Structures are given as structure tokens and as C-alpha cells.
Amino acid sequence: MENKLRVLRAENKWSQAELAQRLGVSRQAVNAIETGKHDPSLTLAFSIAEVFSLSIEEVFDPKS
Amino acid sequence: MTDKLEDTEKRFLKNFGLHIGMFLGLLVVQTFALELFDLATWAKVAVTVAPVVPILFLVLSVVRNYRQMDEFMQRVHGESLLWTIGILGAASFTYGMLERVLGIVPPISVIWLLPTVAFMSGLVNFILMRHYDGE
């Protein structure tokens, strides 16, 4: 599943560690999601969308 | 890593060190007690298996630490354990066949099972983490 996490994170000038801190997960988790190696759970996907004040559909593309 | 995860990790490492220390201490007690004293059979058994107690607490610590991990870390650790079980299972089965059917290899004590599981899962975890953490 593709996502815009890296772009959104860059727009906010956050490092992976900073985003991980906001989400309450490890930096490795953020990296794995960004690189498409890990699809987050619904709970984490909601948290990610909330951190960027967006909807889940605006962050993740389930069709890809 | 978040503060909560960092605290969890620190607590785990502290408990890990404590339990390993207790284990080594009880190993020393075991060695000297069996060597120096003429103990009753029940006392010999108690002293011999005593080092297992901190190992059980260590296992409890590992499980608690796993429960505190985020979903990605749980996935990596879960995969590590699956690989470890699969590889060790296949290897021990192969060795067992060579030992039992052909008798061309010496028997290995099961005392090495836990250290091997710990080492192998750590190694596989390291490899998987490098795989997932790369670009």
C-alpha cells in the first residue's frame, strides 16, 4: 500500500524520529511504513492521519 | 524511539541484567554446593535446578517487553521467532536422524537449546531489522 508519509513528513520538516515520537512508535516503524515494507494497522493509520490533520485516504492509497 | 518505548527498553535491559546476574550467581552456588557439601538427593535436585528460576523470570520479562513493543517491532520479533523455530527444528531433526539412524554424530545435550534459541533469534532479529530498516 502506497502512502505519502515521506512527503508529508518533509513538508512538516520532521525527522523520522520526531514523527515516531508523535505517533508513539519506533523510528524503524516509521521508516518501514514510508518504504512500504510495513502496512500499518487501522489504529496506527488513524494516528498518522490525525498527526497530519488529514483523512486516512489522503495519506494512504489502498489501490496501489 | 518515544519516551515510553525508551523507558520500557531501559526497564527490560535492567531486568535482563538482573536475571542473568542471578542466573550466574546461582550457577556458582550450584557448583560449590555440589562440590563442597554432601547434600541429600532432594537438596541436590533443588540446587541443580535453582538457576532455572531466574531464567523463567527472564522469559516473563521478554514477554512483557514484547507486549510493550509497537506493532512493527512485534512483527519483526515474531518473524525472528518463527525463523528460529523453523531453522532449529529442521536442524535438530536432521541431526537427530544422523545420530539415531546412522549413528555418525555424537548426541548433544539439551542444555544448549535455550542459549541456541536466544542467540539465533537475536541474530535473525538483527538481519530482519536491517532488511526492514533499509531503503
Q: Is A38 on the interface with B (CB under 8 A)?
A: yes
Give the model confidence (pLDDT) of B20-54 as tens digits. Answer: 999 999 999 999 999 999 999 999 999 999 999 99
- Residue A22 falls within a domain, yes or no? yes
The domains of chain B are located at 1-68, 70-135
Give the model confidence (pLDDT) of A13-60 as tens digits. Answer: 999 999 999 999 999 999 999 999 999 999 999 999 999 999 999 999
Would you state the cell numbers that stand for residue A19, as one nine-digit string? 514523527
| CA–CA distance, B62 with B2 (Å, rounded to integer) | 19
Instruction: Specify whether the backbone of A24 is left (phi greater than 0), alpha (psi in -120 to 50) or beta.
Output: left
Asked if residues B47 and B33 have their Cβ atoms less than 8 Å apart, the reply is: yes
Q: Which of A35, A28, A33 is nearest to A47 (CA)?
A: A33
| CA–CA distance, B122 with B1 (Å, rounded to integer) | 20
> How many Å from the N-terminal Cα to the C-terminal Cα in chain A?
5
Q: What residue of A is the nearest CA neighbor of B74? A: A29
Contacting residues of A for B72, CB less than 8 Å apart: 25-26, 28-29, 32-33, 38
Q: Is A6 on the interface with B (CB under 8 A)?
A: no
- Residue A9 falls within a domain, yes or no? yes
> How many Å from the N-terminal Cα to the C-terminal Cα in chain B?
19
Interface-testing mutation among B72, B75, B127, B129, with chain A (most A C-beta atoms within 10 A): B72
- Residue A46 falls within a domain, yes or no? yes
Q: Is A54 on the interface with B (CB under 8 A)?
A: no
Give the model confidence (pLDDT) of B58-117 as tens digits. Answer: 999 999 999 999 999 999 999 999 999 999 999 999 999 999 999 999 999 999 999 999
Strand-pair partners of A2: A61
Answer yes or no: do B133 and A25 touch at CB < 8 A: no
**What domain range includes position A14?**
2-58
Cut 0.90: pTM above it? no
ipTM score = 0.90
